[in-house]
Amino acid sequence: MIITKAGRRMFPAMRVKISGLDPHQQYYIAMDIVPVDNKRYRYVYHSSKWMVAGNADSPVPPRVYIHPDSPASGETWMRQVISFDKLKLTNNELDDQGHIILHSMHKYQPRVHVIRKDCGDDLSPIKPVPSGEGVKAFSFPETVFTTVTAYQNQQITRLKIDRNPFAKGFRDSGRNRMGLEALVESYAFWRPSLRTLTFEDIPGIPKQEYRDLKTDYIFPKLDNLVSRQIKL
């Protein structure tokens, strides 16, 4: 995933579809991105693999992306696809634009948070997401990514340029596209499989508020696009 000083939008963007919320209750939807481990990585070209290169850099200031439609009723959230396409990533630790601050060459995990409004008094773009009753976080192994300032793999470079609407200037409409089309078709990109996870009840929250929370998202890994159905 590319990060820049000025801030770069995530691509592919994350989108979720939620159901089972209380239609009359107000909720915040937010996202943060946390380190997977305490390692720094490097890409080994001759073997086309990521290898551990040492310990992670010092922690960056916490940042949370609060969806701009927040707060909204459960009914509002459930009738739309919730997109995080405006979220931007930066490696500028002095960023004052509200972008998510990350280190390059580290692995990260995005997390989606569903927060009842009455439990979101401490929610802030520059503080960790509050925890406890009325707050639930969801994360998926398929969404782990490695941050870079330049793509390390030529096939990923070509695939992202071809699919990213903001990379239009990099595309050459006159080139032979057969090789790239074969690459794109080799990924299960548009037909997600379905898996089910079961979580324990959230203490203090009636079951019906979070019943059948379903997420449907478009995100890496590029070789395995997955739809998730979460039942609490």
Confidence category of residue 71, pLDDT binned at 50, 70, 90: very high
Closest CA to 222 of 130, 127, 153: 153
pLDDT at residue 226 greater than cutoff 50 = no
**pLDDT exceeds cutoff 50 at 218:** no
Q: 224 pLDDT exceeds 60?
A: no
Q: What is the pLDDT of residue 41?
A: 96
Question: Using CA atoms, how far apart are residues 202 and 76, in angstroms rounded to an integer?
Answer: 22
Question: Where is average pLDDT lowest: 105-109, 125-129, 153-157?
Answer: 153-157
Higher pLDDT, 101 or 157: 101
> pLDDT (tens digit, 9 = 90+) per residue, 111-122?
999 999 999 988
Rg of the chain over Cα atoms, rounded to whole angstroms, equals 19
Q: Contact at 8 Å (CB) between 232 and 205?
A: no
Q: Are the C-beta atoms of residues 77 and 113 closer than 8 Å to each other?
A: no
- What is the sign, positive or negative, of the torsion defined by CA atoms of 1, 110, 120, 92? negative
> What is the sign of the dihedral through the CA atoms of 61, 64, 68 and 72?
negative
Average pLDDT value over all residues in the chain: 78
- pLDDT at residue 223, as a whole number: 38
User: Domains along the chain?
Assistant: 8-151+221-231 (2.60.40.820)
pLDDT of residue 167: 64
Residue listed under structure tokens 């916490």: 62
Q: What is the per-residue pLDDT for 219?
A: 40
The torsion angle over the Cα atoms of residues 140, 162, 46 and 146, rounded to 10 degrees, is -30
The backbone region for 86, taken as left when phi is positive above 0, alpha when psi lies in -120 to 50, beta otherwise, is alpha
Q: Is pLDDT of 13 > 50?
A: yes
Spatial separation of the C-alpha atoms in residues 181 and 162, rounded to whole Å: 9
